[in-house]
Structure 1
Amino acid sequence: MKLTFWGAAQQVTGSMHLLEVGHYKILIDCGLDYEKETYQEENQFFPFDPASINLVILTHAHIDHSGNLPTLVRSGFDGQVLCTPPTADLTSILLFDSVELFLRKQSRKPRTKRGHFNGPKPLYLHKHVMDTIDRFVTIAFNKPFKITGDISLTFVPVGHLLGAAAAVLTINDQGTEKKIAFTGDIGRQNYPVLVNPEPLPPVDYLVSEATYGGRYHSKNETLEERLVKEITEACIKTPGRLIIPAFSIGRTQSLVFALNQIFTKKLLPPIQIFVDSPMAIQATEVYRKHHNLVNQEAKDFYQTMGDEFEFEHLAYVQTMKESKDVSNYFDPCIIISSAGMLEGGRIQDHLYYNIQNYYCTILFIGYCAKGTLGYKLLSGAPIVRIKDRELMVYATIRQTDLLSGHGDHDDLIKTIKQTGQPKQVFLVHGEDKSLQSLSAALQQENYKVSTPERGESFEL
């Protein structure tokens, strides 16, 4: 049995791990690596023959785990993609959105003299996404699924996103039973809407994310307290606007529920809230469809107060005309828009018109990868480029980790310890500092730890 790391190795994005059991090849996740500005060109080719892959296991829908599946299919993969039902629905939304992003980037630069587009060629098109969706086979949580006579798979809920799962594989390797788990992304305890991560079983080998290795989430205030404080400062003490970049899938639904609770309790006077993201509207419908998988708090709220994602003074913005009307809304308001790292989406329009507005606050509620516009703003860049213009940053830039979907250092340690004493723990999906911090902590607990490089293989 051989394991090779082809993505999210000593970096965060691009999760892709190849497990070979004899001649049978399983790819765990197939995400976009978007840590370079030329990421479309970087993701065109695979370091293996896509046609040789027998199966893909998808841990969850986020684009750094799912975003290169259509390229894999376009390049010759013709097997199944195993995932949970919500992951299939949310991934479909994200992949179609990726195509639109590719097409916008292609058409952004002036055409050649012959009228051809001059921007980067799309990685894939709508046809390839539809071909990919046709390969999805959905599996319920905690139901062992027989892949072959020697391999079975169980999905264990890990929070983080609706449908997100750790993949636990039980393998008969030449007469010896071996267990290996891939955590995907591990969520947090008591996160709005989402269930808590369930304990993983004892395994022989573990591949764990390390996004928050060495880092700890704020514990001196609650999410409710922080949101009340930010809204008060941005919209009440000063009659301005609060712009919250949020991933349309996952983060927006949790944020809307948290705001619903705040205004239902009348902790603040009514303030107009706009959710400016057609994709968030689609994703919210998926959350409603799979409402049996949300946490008990959200289920109880639904029973007593009604829909968690609808309340007075909340407006979902669908068309571009409606979005432009939001830009011309001059009363205090909250604008929730995607994308969370500011790479494309309607959020760029709101930033374009507000980044030089002294009465605007931009509140980041999630991780921003290196190289993204969000990362540059959080790093204190005085000037940023938005829609091909250099703009001074006059808006107030704020950040909170209380809506981060990733477990922190303690959560990661807890998850790893649940698996007993694996023969080896592989740490991926983290920046160097996070990887080293988590590795050092585990080694003190006598774990054998590796932080593999891209392309590094291990015989298990």
Structure 2
Amino acid sequence: MKLTIHGAARQVTGSMHLLQVGQYKILIDCGLDYEKDHNMQINEDFGFRPEEIDVVILTHAHIDHSGNLPTLVRMGFNGQILCTPPTADLTELLLMDSVNIFLQKAQKGKQHRRRHKHSSGGPQPLYLQKHVMDTVERFITINFNRPFRITGDIEVTFVPAGHLLGAAGVVLKVNDEGVEKTIAFTGDIGRKGYPVLNDPEPLPPVDYLVSEATYGGRMHSKGKSVQETLEEIIDKVCIKEQGRLIIPAFSIGRTQSLVFVLNKIFSSGALPPVKIFVDSPMASRATELYRKHHSQVNPEAHEFYNTKGDEFEFDNLTYVETLKDSRQVSNYFEPCIIISSAGMLEGGRIQDHLFYNIQNYYCTILFIGYCAKGTLGYRLLRGDPIVHIKDRDLAVYATIKQTDVLSAHGDHEDLVNNVKSQDASKLKGVYLVHGETSAMQALADTLESDGYKVNIPEKGVSYEL
């Protein structure tokens, strides 16, 4: 049995891991590497032949785990893609959105070349709607904690991971030439007590563990709850300062959790009413999918639904659908909260809201998630005094804030505890992925001090297991 890390090696995005059992090849996740956003064509360099992959196992829908699947299909993959039912639905939504982003960037590139009289062609979209539909047709859905036999020698089980609706850790039980071996891939590990989502479940004992390391070396803020933190920020920005609060949020997952918390705040009367705009058609569609898979939300959300009604609908909340209505939000001059995608500011309607508000002293931009290096969100959090938005260089006068209370990733302690649920004397190896090198090293140092054998793989390096 051989493991090769082809993506998210010493970086966060582009998760892609190849497990070879004899001649049978299993790809766990196939995510977009968008830390090199200027060169998306790097995603066509898989490091293996797509047509030789027998099956793909998808941990969850986020683009850094699913976003390169249509490229894989376009370049020859012809097998099945195994995932949970919510992951299948949410992934289709995200992949279609990726096509729109690719086409928009291609159009902007064409206009730029025309203005500057460049004759050479620019980068083409990685894939089109046809390739997404070809990908979706390959989904086979499997429920949590139901062992599924892929071949006579390989069995897979999805274990709830929190993090996102449908997100799973993957446990593979393999008969490798008469020897039973087990390996688990954590996917992205969620947090306990996260709004809407169930807590992650511990993985069973395994021989090998491939673990994410996003928050290695970092602890989430302690003390104030999600609701208390948001109440304090909204009270300051919208009530006392009569200003505008803009929250960049991923349309799938983060927005639904945020809306639920806002529902609890305003339905309880904790704050005076404030107008809230959710400006993302994809968030609206994702919310419908959360309703479709409502059986998988956590007990708190179920109880709220049974006693007070829909978690994702309340007075003063407006889901903005059309582009015309989106532009009208800029003309709303009363205090308000605008939730819009994308979370890292790389495209989407959020860029329009930034364009009109980045120089507004009475505007606060609140980041509630991770921003990868190279993204506009990263540059704002870094403190750049001038940023480039919609072909303009704009000075930053708005207040930039960040909170980790709505981060859907487990922190250093969660990651350590997840590994320590495995017996150090029996776990033959831990392989850290999906994190910056410093985060991986911090996590490795802690685990090694507790007797675990830890590897920080480089891209393309193989391990015989």
1:380 pairs with one of 379, 383, 386? 383
Paired position in structure 1 for 2:432: 427
Mark the runs of 5 or more structure 2 residues left unpaired by the alignment: none
Give the alignment's TM-score, normalised by structure 2: 0.97
> 2: distance between equivalents of 1:400 and 1:429?
21
Matched, 1:47 2:47: yes
> 2: distance between equivalents of 1:110 and 1:250?
33
Paired position in structure 2 for 1:436: 441
Q: Is the 8 A contact 1:13 1:35 kept in 2?
A: yes
Q: 1:269 to 1:451 in 2, by over 3 A?
A: same
Alignment-mate amino acid for residue 447 of structure 1:
Y
Measured after TM superposition, the shift of residue 117 of structure 1 is 9.7
Measured after TM superposition, the shift of residue 110 of structure 1 is 4.1
Paired position in structure 1 for 2:98: 98
Once the two structures are superposed, the pairs formed by residues 294-333 of structure 1 within 5 Å of their partners are 294-333=297-336
Bigger CA drift: 224-233 or 307-316?
Answer: 224-233
> 1: distance between equivalents of 2:132 and 2:118?
27
Once the two structures are superposed, the pairs formed by residues 1-400 of structure 1 within 5 Å of their partners are 1-111=1-111, 118-400=121-403
Matched, 1:452 2:457: yes
Percent identity among equivalent residues?
69
Alignment-mate amino acid for residue 99 of structure 1:
V
> 1: distance between equivalents of 2:23 and 2:196?
41
> 2: distance between equivalents of 1:55 and 1:109?
35
SS of residue in 1 equivalent to 2:277: strand
> 1: distance between equivalents of 2:44 and 2:429?
32
CA-based RMSD of the aligned residues comes to 1.2
Alignment-mate amino acid for residue 8 of structure 2:
A
Q: Is the 8 A contact 1:105 1:119 kept in 2?
A: no
Alignment-mate amino acid for residue 377 of structure 2:
G
Measured after TM superposition, the shift of residue 222 of structure 1 is 1.0
SS of residue in 1 equivalent to 2:408: coil
Measured after TM superposition, the shift of residue 45 of structure 1 is 2.6
> 2: distance between equivalents of 1:88 and 1:296?
23
Q: Is the 8 A contact 1:107 1:119 kept in 2?
A: no
Mark the runs of 5 or more structure 1 residues left unpaired by the alignment: none
> 1: distance between equivalents of 2:203 and 2:421?
6
Bigger CA drift: 108-117 or 4-13?
Answer: 108-117
Measured after TM superposition, the shift of residue 115 of structure 1 is 11
> 2: distance between equivalents of 1:330 and 1:101?
30
> 2: distance between equivalents of 1:195 and 1:117?
51
Paired position in structure 2 for 1:402: 405
SS of residue in 1 equivalent to 2:143: coil
Deviations 1:280-333 (A, max 9, x none): 001001100000000000000000000000000000000000100101100000
SS of residue in 2 equivalent to 1:147: strand
Measured after TM superposition, the shift of residue 39 of structure 1 is 3.6
Alignment-mate amino acid for residue 438 of structure 1:
L
Q: 1:119 to 1:238 in 2, by over 3 A?
A: farther
Q: Is the 8 A contact 1:156 1:167 kept in 2?
A: yes
Q: 1:292 to 1:64 in 2, by over 3 A?
A: same
> 2: distance between equivalents of 1:314 and 1:62?
26
> 1: distance between equivalents of 2:144 and 2:377?
34
How many pairs does the alignment contain? 460
